[in-house]
Amino acid sequence: MTGARLIDGKAVAAELRERVAAAALDLRVRHGIAAGLAAVLVGDDAASQIYVRSKARACAEVGIASFEYHLPAGAGIAALLDLVAQLNADDRVDGILVQLPLPDAIDTRRVIAALDPAKDVDGFHPLNIGRLWSGDPGCVPCTPQGVLMLLRGVRPDLSGAEAVVLGRSKIVGRPIAALLVAADCTVTIVHSRSSDPAGICRRADIVVAALGRPAMVAAD
């Protein structure tokens, strides 16, 4: 581990918030535009409530308008799709975040597909997924984008690096793999059916643990 560097994620986040605040201020002063984020929560999941509140605080810190919409757990898909349509048409709203997971009775894919792709800040809309894998501009999922920012903080040029991504989830594993491919890395995705995952990891220059469970990568 000689020469290893610990990445200071809090410092990177603070610098990013400063840049976002400056951009939001510039939009207001020069163009009269107030950026706005709408968060939609269905039901009373405690973790989801905490996440949505944290987004509202983050918006307040950087000068972005925040709109919260809370539907009861028993709300049907029709009510949710109607709300999404309203937010798509609302000029105050530049980004829409539908907090997942949704109740089992609601078809998540239909809801995500109903979002205006330009307002899909999570980057889950099929059009944004296609743009990501095609290398075209679009909304990118925040956690993979954050991982790439942290990597570039210690290695600005990732070209030629061998990267291993542990996990193939649609939210983190697959999107970060697409971003690493776009950064000219050689990418392998390790999953539950992979043969010799430890051996694959040992040869990597970059390992991204996107399994959602701690301590999955041991010292060996």
SS (H, E, C) 103-149: CCCCCHHHHHHHCCHHHECCCCCHHHHHHHHHCCCCCCCHHHHHHHH
Catalytic residue among 94, 99, 119, 120: 99
Percentages (nearest 5) of helix, strand, coil residues in the chain: 45, 15, 40
Residue listed under structure tokens 């307040």: 60
How far apart CA 215 and CA 204 sit, in angstroms, is: 18
Catalytic residue among 26, 86, 122, 220: 122
CA atoms within 13 A on the CB side of 152: 14
How far apart CA 168 and CA 159 sit, in angstroms, is: 22
Measured CA angle at 16 (ends 10, 18), to 5 deg: 105
Look up 122 and say whether it is catalytic.
Answer: yes
Measured CA angle at 15 (ends 10, 19), to 5 deg: 145
Main-chain dihedrals φ then ψ at residue 122, nearest 5 degrees: -80, -15
Catalytic residue among 45, 49, 55, 120: 55
Are the C-beta atoms of residues 41 and 80 closer than 8 Å to each other?
A: no
Active site members:
55, 99, 122
